[in-house]
Amino acid sequence: MPIFKKSDPSTECEACDVRFDLMHGGVCERCRRVLCYRHLHGSWVQRLRVDLGRPAVCVQCRREG
């Protein structure tokens, strides 16, 4: 009988309905949607900006202005 159970922190992207690990996506601070890496950041450069302190704003919200 295992003492520790492996957790599965995953959910579905609200843009493309693909299941993803929560460590590789997140929530847009403008529209509050749960999104995968591709729809939240779009590129590793944007991910780096978020890691350095910029707000996590999804690709669609950045495009709309």
Q: Give the helix ranges, DSSP H, for 1-65.
A: 37-40, 44-51, 59-64
Q: What are phi and psi of 44, to 5 degrees?
A: -70, -25
Q: For the whole prediction, is pTM greater than 0.85?
A: no
- Of 41 and 1, the structure prediction assigns the larger pLDDT to 41
3-60: pLDDT as tens digits: 777 777 789 999 999 999 888 899 999 999 999 999 999 999 999 999 999 999 999 9
- Residue 1: pLDDT band with limits 50, 70, 90: low
Q: Name the band, by pLDDT with cuts 50, 70 and 90, for residue 65.
A: confident
Q: List the beta bridge partners of residue 10.
A: 21
27: its two tokens: 């929530």
What tokens were used for 12? 């579905």
